Structure 1
Amino acid sequence: MAVIEAKTPRIRAIQRTALALLVISGVVNYIDRATLSVANPLIREELGLSVADMGLLLSAFLWAYALAQLPVGALVDRLGPRLMLSLGLGLWSLAQAAGGLVHSFAQFFTARAVLGLGEAPQFPTAARVSRDWFNPADRGTATGIWNCSSTLGTALSVPLLTFLMLHLGWRWMFGIMGALGVLVALAAYAIYRNPAQTVLTPEERRHLTEGEPPPAARLTWPEWRRLFGFRTTWGMLIGFFGTIYVTWIYGAWLPSYLEMERHMSIARTGVMAAIPFAFGVVGSLLGGRLADALVRRGVSPMNSRKWPMAAALAGTAGFTAAAALVADNNLAIACISAAMFLSYVSSSTAWAMASVAAPANCTASLGAMQNCGGYLGGALAPTATGFIVQATGSFAPALLLGAGVALVCSVLYFLIVQEPIPPLALQPSSEAMMPGTSPGISRAR
């Protein structure tokens, strides 16, 4: 794939600034998610919660986050990343600060649900930024960079939040992170600009949209609804379900797993739990670069994402099963690290798919639909894990269940995801809407 070389210094500066903002906001996003997991034992003791109660509390964020994806994706495509990212950041940061003031399960549940609503625009926005400001041959690498914020934030969260919690208490930990998020929200709105707010030369626009149809008008709600008529949409949704299910077993329960199952101290857990997420950072970066490398070697944009995603998710299943069965603590950490590495390869390539599988004005919407499927899995994982551990006294059955989910979803993703969604198929007059057919399914292979 020949890349049009019109990446001017201005385009490079915009790209660096956009990625920096996405990485910083993504790191804050994932540190904020992890506060409840890191403070799990202290919160359970102070508020008198059971392990199953904590599973429900961990899922409060995830259910709100998952269900908010569908309207949020459409809003990002209609209103633009600048506004939606800043509003989301502000809302979730206020909810994070409120988490330090709660005194009951119901209050905490509400704060975590609002946190989920506020965080919902983060990754659909990032997918749209990749589509708006990067050439098709560079979008995988860009996606890998901003997607690594999820595992980088989680890796940083355990030692950072453990330090704040041990020295200032878990309530101050929540308040400090909320204040930091508000500052990042203000910076994002002040610095970032959508393409429509920037005057670009014809050469710069050709570089950003090489080989693609001209940008369509703003997404309409009928077009958004028709995305559900394509098998590619459903394949992406199912595959990401498996990726995020396993990711959130570790994201929600890894510190408690190391303390309860592997009998590590809180201080040692703060160090050891960061190791798998450091491997996830590497997996995210390499997954994005792998997708771009395959495109440059002639693999179609769809297959350059599809093949690594399905293979990495299957590998995640294998190493998660191994982690459940080994007795040695160091070997368990190694297996979990390998699983996290591969899960973030699958995550990066899945998000990179959103930038090539649909027209530009649907990028955030399709990514959000995929993310909705993923976080339905993410919402189930902490709850299912909590109840399984409470019933069996062990994390092993929960890890084996996660491995099974990941394997099934990898196979379905590989079989279902096929061709990109063509722009005309979303129009009411297109062949995809012929009488006697479901919207787009018969025409979207």
Structure 2
Amino acid sequence: MQVEKQDKIGNYRWRIVVLLFFATTINYIDRQVLGILAPQLQQQFGWSESDYGFIIMAFQIAYAVGLISMGTLLDKIGTRLGFIIAISLWSLAGMAHAAARSVFSFSLARFALGIGESANFPAAVKTVAEWFPKKERALATGIFNSGPNVGAILTPLLIPVIALELGWEWGFIITGALGFIWLLFWIPMYRKPELDKRLSDAERRHILQDDTEPDATKLPWKSIISYKQTWGICLARFLTDPIWWFFLYWLPKFLNSNHNIDLTNIGLPLIIIYMVSIGGSIFGGWMSSFLINRGKNPVAARILTIFLLALLVVPIFFASFTSSLWLAVALISMATFAHQGYAANIFTIVSDIFPKSAVGSVVGLSGFAGAIGGVLFSGAVGVILEITGSYYVIFGIASVAYLLCWLSLQLLVPAHQKIQLPQI
């Protein structure tokens, strides 16, 4: 009977979330192409380690700026037009890498890519809010949010083949073109559910069933930054987001310099690393839920889970010392597994302690803090590699970052205190 009822409602909204999944997958493919090609480009153009660090910083600065501005823009122009502008910008920027020849021109292309790509997650979350009732939004978000891992797996499979057969420029051109192919589906398919004539009346009522509920008052950041919990979460993201950025952009270079891995054989190590990281996201969510079901306070359960995962990152310090490729892959995989499990909990802590009207602001503010941390760390990585010629300092920083993150949460995010913000 339940299946029959669902059939009568209709399922057009799930086609929309499939579009969001592909947009997010393309988003991660486009941002990761440079990391895969970095060893070849560094040799061809004579980049120093600092040069590469500055190129990465350009993307992260733009991404940080975009994270605190795109939400407002999307609210003004709507998700349909917002996505059209954003994916057109980042696709053109991705393709523009093919014409770049200097550090400045690559940095300029990366900056434009960062501005465009920063809109993806705010736009996707807003689209889910428009097209799904509250009881279905978590599932819809989970579907589109699996795109980053899929993108991280597909990129090392696709880019080496394209670059070796056609040249590195085509790696950027072909992946950049994917966004325009996506627009061929988005433009005709997407309208607000109130206006979409392809929806049945039953599905439209189902989607809009929460519209009778009053909207929560939107709170500016200045009304929440006085709370130590906000700073604890921002500090956690500031410490750990740069490590994930490092994994995305510097692992191919590390594998190349330490283990002679190039475009012909880079696929398998990276696929293993990111496949393991998918398991971390599932484990992190399961672990905290297990502790909660055993009677532990939700926030305390998540902070304890983060501590246990932080311990898995500590051995990554030895990844720069081992001569075994697969031992290094195993140590890095443990760290990416832990990061994804941590991420599943840090986002949920926000909704555990802040009212719904403040969740978006706290997530945006903490994401900005993480992006700033990424900017600083990328610059530092380039300088450290030029001075030391080794990754041991960098992996040493990564090995303790998550323990420091746990400490910031332990000190600044009391488990039994839920924040009640004043309405304005």
TM-score, scaled relative to structure 2: 0.84
Residue 97 of structure 2 is aligned to residue 99 of structure 1: yes
Q: Cα distance, 1:389 vs. partner?
A: 1.6
For residues 360-399 of structure 1, the aligned pairs below 5 Å read 360=356, 363-399=359-395
| Per-residue deviation, residues 383-428 of structure 1 (Å, max 9, x unmatched) | 2222212211111111111222222122213432355554x5241x
- Aligned twin of 2:230: 233
**Distance (Å, rounded) in 1 between the aligned partners of 2:344 and 2:398:** 19
| Per-residue deviation, residues 6-49 of structure 1 (Å, max 9, x unmatched) | x9558783563343223211111111111111111222233332
Q: What SS is found at the alignment partner of 1:49?
A: coil
Structure 1: give runs of 5+ residues left out of the alignment. 428-445
**Distance (Å, rounded) in 1 between the aligned partners of 2:56 and 2:413:** 31
- Aligned twin of 1:125: 123
Partner residue of 1:272 out of 252, 256, 269: 269
**Distance (Å, rounded) in 1 between the aligned partners of 2:8 and 2:234:** 36
**Distance (Å, rounded) in 2 between the aligned partners of 1:195 and 1:421:** 34
Does the C-alpha gap of structure 1 residues 241 and 15 become closer, same or farther in structure 2, counting only changes over 3 Å?
A: farther
CA contact (8 A) 2:193 2:204 kept: no
Does the C-alpha gap of structure 1 residues 144 and 52 become closer, same or farther in structure 2, counting only changes over 3 Å?
A: same
- Aligned twin of 1:417: 413
Does the C-alpha gap of structure 1 residues 130 and 396 become closer, same or farther in structure 2, counting only changes over 3 Å?
A: farther
CA contact (8 A) 1:144 1:287 kept: no
- Aligned twin of 2:253: 256
**Distance (Å, rounded) in 2 between the aligned partners of 1:317 and 1:140:** 28
| Per-residue deviation, residues 162-207 of structure 1 (Å, max 9, x unmatched) | 111111111111111111112224533443455666777777666x
- Aligned twin of 2:324: 328
Q: Cα distance, 1:56 vs. partner?
A: 1.1
- Aligned twin of 2:401: 405
- Aligned twin of 1:216: 216
Q: Cα distance, 1:229 vs. partner?
A: 3.4
**Distance (Å, rounded) in 2 between the aligned partners of 1:142 and 1:286:** 20
For structure 1, which segment, 314-323 or 259-268, has the greater mean C-alpha deviation from structure 2 after superposition? 314-323
TM-score, scaled relative to structure 1: 0.80
Q: Cα distance, 1:90 vs. partner?
A: 1.6
For residues 74-153 of structure 1, the aligned pairs below 5 Å read 74-76=72-74, 80-129=78-127, 142-153=140-151
For residues 193-212 of structure 1, the aligned pairs below 5 Å read 193=191
Does the C-alpha gap of structure 1 residues 139 and 282 become closer, same or farther in structure 2, counting only changes over 3 Å?
A: farther
Does the C-alpha gap of structure 1 residues 331 and 36 become closer, same or farther in structure 2, counting only changes over 3 Å?
A: same
For structure 1, which segment, 396-405 or 264-273, has the greater mean C-alpha deviation from structure 2 after superposition? 264-273
Q: What SS is found at the alignment partner of 2:259?
A: coil
CA contact (8 A) 1:77 1:365 kept: no
For structure 1, which segment, 157-166 or 195-204, has the greater mean C-alpha deviation from structure 2 after superposition? 195-204
**Distance (Å, rounded) in 1 between the aligned partners of 2:291 and 2:8:** 27
- Aligned twin of 1:350: 346
For structure 1, which segment, 177-186 or 284-293, has the greater mean C-alpha deviation from structure 2 after superposition? 284-293
Q: What SS is found at the alignment partner of 1:216?
A: coil
Partner residue of 1:65 out of 63, 66, 72: 63
For structure 1, which segment, 266-275 or 139-148, has the greater mean C-alpha deviation from structure 2 after superposition? 139-148
Does the C-alpha gap of structure 1 residues 223 and 35 become closer, same or farther in structure 2, counting only changes over 3 Å?
A: same
For structure 1, which segment, 132-141 or 14-23, has the greater mean C-alpha deviation from structure 2 after superposition? 132-141
- Aligned twin of 1:25: 23
**Distance (Å, rounded) in 1 between the aligned partners of 2:186 and 2:7:** 21
**Distance (Å, rounded) in 2 between the aligned partners of 1:82 and 1:356:** 31
Q: What SS is found at the alignment partner of 1:250?
A: helix
Residue 53 of structure 2 is aligned to residue 55 of structure 1: yes
For structure 1, which segment, 380-389 or 321-330, has the greater mean C-alpha deviation from structure 2 after superposition? 321-330
Q: Cα distance, 1:344 vs. partner?
A: 1.1
For structure 1, which segment, 100-109 or 127-136, has the greater mean C-alpha deviation from structure 2 after superposition? 127-136
**Distance (Å, rounded) in 2 between the aligned partners of 1:356 and 1:326:** 41
For residues 183-198 of structure 1, the aligned pairs below 5 Å read 183-193=181-191
| Per-residue deviation, residues 316-338 of structure 1 (Å, max 9, x unmatched) | 53242343454432111111111
CA contact (8 A) 1:87 1:185 kept: no
- Amino acid aligned to 1:44: Q
For structure 1, which segment, 184-193 or 31-40, has the greater mean C-alpha deviation from structure 2 after superposition? 184-193
- Aligned twin of 1:307: 303
Q: Cα distance, 1:111 vs. partner?
A: 0.9
- Amino acid aligned to 1:226: S
- Aligned twin of 1:243: 240
**Distance (Å, rounded) in 1 between the aligned partners of 2:358 and 2:77:** 12
CA contact (8 A) 1:140 1:289 kept: no
**Distance (Å, rounded) in 2 between the aligned partners of 1:420 and 1:192:** 38
Does the C-alpha gap of structure 1 residues 131 and 233 become closer, same or farther in structure 2, counting only changes over 3 Å?
A: farther
| Per-residue deviation, residues 257-277 of structure 1 (Å, max 9, x unmatched) | 111012334322232122101
For structure 1, which segment, 81-90 or 58-67, has the greater mean C-alpha deviation from structure 2 after superposition? 81-90
CA contact (8 A) 2:9 2:206 kept: no
Q: How well do the aligned residues superpose, as a CA RMSD in angstroms?
A: 3.6
How many residues get paired? 415
- Aligned twin of 1:178: 176
| Per-residue deviation, residues 334-393 of structure 1 (Å, max 9, x unmatched) | 111111111112223334455665555555443222211222222233322222122111
- Aligned twin of 1:437: none
Q: What SS is found at the alignment partner of 1:39?
A: helix
Q: What SS is found at the alignment partner of 1:281?
A: helix
